[in-house]
Structure formats: C-alpha cells, structure tokens
Structure 1
C-alpha cells in the first residue's frame, strides 16, 4: 500500500517538494481557494497549525480552481494572498487540480479507496480536509463545512499526535 510519502507537490518557486519530508508528522491536507465562502477557514487553520505544530503536526494547503472558478489567483499573486493577506505560515503549494480529468496524483490517491486503502471521498468543494497519520496513511476526512475549530477535528488530531 502506498502512503502520501510517495508523492510530491510543487512549491511556488516551481521546486518539487517530496511529501516524504513530512515523514512521522500528522498532516491535514486541505484544498483551498481565495474566493470561496469557506476562505475564512484560513484563519482557523492557522490557529490550528500554531496550536499543534510543535507536537509534530503540519497543514498542507493545495489551492485549486476546480470549484466554480473560486481560485483565480496563481503564482506570486496567490502566494501574496496566502502569506500576507491571510498571514498563513504553514506550507501552501502551487495551484493544482483536486478532481477531474487532470487531478493531481496525490488527490487521486487521497480520493480513492483502491489507492489509499481506507476511503472513497473526493473533494466536493473547497476546504475539504484529509487527516493523515504519522505513517502517511489516510485515516479520516472532513467536508468543507467542518471548520478547523471543531472539537471533533481537534480530538482526532490529538489522538494521532499521542499515538
């Protein structure tokens, strides 16, 4: 069975970042957008990141324009929006496809049980979240309406951090 460590993501500077660099971390992988009703979750995600980052937790954000063209930004404009306007300090990668014909291999893996061994659950909208254990395995997912401040999400993260 594969893990997310077999994949890579493109950073804003065009460099490939191996997800193996996050080995032994609990991860929350989120597809994001700057013009979505859920964009306000960026602030909550940053608070969540600050709360758990020193305990082995990372959030990985993947902007996507797959849903109603709610991510019109690319390149430096997108990076500026995330880093300066939203004050995000967790990793944010280049805009990518999270569904459809051109879906990124990572999101194909996250979305299909025959690949991840756990769930069939593709993003239905922006701010869909996948929770990954320290072994790089998908262990849960959260629909966009589950915000980063919900007790259920915090409990799941704390459980994985303590394993």
Structure 2
C-alpha cells in the first residue's frame, strides 16, 4: 500500500468503507478506548472535528482493547458510549488490534510510515494519533499525551496553507 487511501476498513456499524472516501482531506487517525485515562480526549477530538471539518479535517476513531483491557465492549456498546457520553459524530470504526501479529493492515502501514520515539513502530497506548495529509501520507505521529487542543494548532496551520 502506498497511501492511506488504498485501505478499506470496517466501520462501527459493520460496513466496509474505503479510506479513499477522504482523498484530499487531512486525517487524524486515533486508536481510542472507553475506559482509559485519556478517554476524556473524546471531547477534544469531537470539538476539533466540529471546528475544523469545514477546513478539510476528518477525525477517524479506531477502538482498541490491547492496552489494559480498556475497550471491552462490543461495537454497539462503544457507539452508544461515544454518542451518549461525548456526543461523538466523527467516523468510528470496528474494534481492531494495532500491535502484534493480528494488527490491522492499516495500523501496520501507519506505524511503518510514522515511527515513534527513537524509530519505534509499536503503539505504546490508547489515543496515539497519526496526522495524514490530503495525499494520504503520514506527516506526524502524536503521543497519547498530546491533546486534541495542541494538535488542533498544527492541523489549523496545515489546513490554512
């Protein structure tokens, strides 16, 4: 695969979606969890999506249960939690693995294109974020501690060029 647009993933309702649907958009891809210390970032991610989507930003949430069993629910439970607790309207996808031999192909590609500290590929925790440009290329990887507000400054500058 040469760009994020080459991938098809399953959305939270079980339907296949081509990421090529967002060709030309700036994407913020996040592995999320409902019972994590970073879960309140859903609020900031939703605010960022609402504030910058008309500029071309799309936030994509990928639930993952690989870190401390912090996303134990079904897709229906995750969808309900996100909508009732944080009024999430950005696109959400089926639960995936981001590390190991069963890592989703999308995340295998993201990690190889956007390495972490000291060149590591492994995702260290939930709410790791990848910024992808309109051509489908990873331009930056953010740590779980990087807040949506901080990232919003970067995305706004990128989108207003």
Question: Is the pair's TM-score, using the shorter chain for normalization, greater than 0.5?
Answer: yes
- For residue 80 of structure 2, what is the aligned residue in structure 1? 80
Structure 1: distance between partners of 2:100 and 2:135 = 27
Deviation per residue, 1:82-132 (Å, 9 max, x gap): 1222210100101111111100000000001xxx3x535332000000000
1:156 is matched with: 154
Of 34-43 and 77-86, the range deviating more from structure 2: 77-86
CA distance in 1 between partners of 2:2 and 2:149 (Å): 30
- Measure the CA separation in 2 of the matches of 1:70 and 1:136: 29
Which runs of 5 or more residues in structure 2 are unaligned? none
**Cα displacement (A) at 1:160:** 2.3
User: Does structure 1 residue 100 correspond to structure 2 residue 95?
Assistant: no
Q: Matched residues in 1 for 2:35 and 2:153: separation?
A: 29
CA distance in 2, matches of 1:42, 1:6: 27
2-structure distance, mates of 1:32, 1:40? 10
Q: Distance in 2 between matches of 1:29 and 1:157?
A: 13
Q: Distance in 1 between matches of 2:156 and 2:86?
A: 25
Task: State the superposition RMSD in angstroms.
Answer: 1.3
Residue of structure 2 in register with 1:136 after alignment: 136
- The answer on whether the counterparts of 1:131 and 1:138 sit within 8 Å (CA) in structure 2 is yes
Return the TM-score normalized by structure 2: 0.92
- Partners of 1:7 and 1:160 lie apart in 2 by 23
Preserved CA contact (<8 Å) 2:55 2:160: no
Match of 1:23 in 2: 23
Aligned length: 157
Deviating 4+ runs (over 2 angstroms)? 118-122
